[in-house]
Amino acid sequence: MSSQLIQTVDVADVEVRLLSVGDASVEELYRFGALMVSSAQLRTARLDAKLTGILGWSSAALAFVLVDGSVSKPRGLVFDALLVAVALTLASVISAYFGLKSRVWPAPSERDWFCDGALENPDTLKRYHIISMLNIHQSQAGVNYTRAKWLRASEIFLALSASTIFLTLLLRIF
């Protein structure tokens, strides 16, 4: 198995090869394709939930730092640490936003469902649906990969921000 995160296949090649496989293989590919599309959709929902949580925590941390800075009127090293915390927290908010921002999601269309010329032949229609599922899965996997990268960045910024806020609080105590 390759170390590459997203391993895609050439859709045109699969389409040609699909013409020569037996019914049992077509049935298995159809079943597994439905599983893959469902898995990608579930991964999208999980990424959305995590990004939403990070956005909430980042926004709360940013509000805390800004309110604290305006109330305590910090100076010197504490002020510098608060500026770093604001920058890191803002970077986390922005990263989470870019991960969550709306995109046009790939989805099967009615033309995929009712393929012209294949309605009379269930076998041809099923093969066409396999290719449709493959296209949808590849698109969703690409979007999920991008969202996961934004999530990772947002998590790192939030962790660094929390560490900086903690350092700021320690500087005030000592």
Treating both helix axes as pointing N-terminal to C-terminal, what angle do 23-72 and 76-100 enclose, rounded to 10 degrees?
150
Residues in the chain with pLDDT < 50?
1-2
Q: State pTM to two decimals.
A: 0.84
Q: How many CA atoms lie within 13 A of 133 on its CB side?
A: 20
Number of H helices, E strands in the chain: 5, 0
Determine the pLDDT at residue 111: 80
Determine the pLDDT at residue 5: 65
Per-residue 3-state assignment (H helix, E strand, C coil) for 139-168: HHHHHHHHHHHHHHHHHHHHHHHHHHHHHH
**How many other CB atoms are there within 10 angstroms of residue 46's CB atom?**
14
Q: What is the distance between the alpha carbons of residues 140 and 40, in angstroms, rounded to a whole number? A: 6
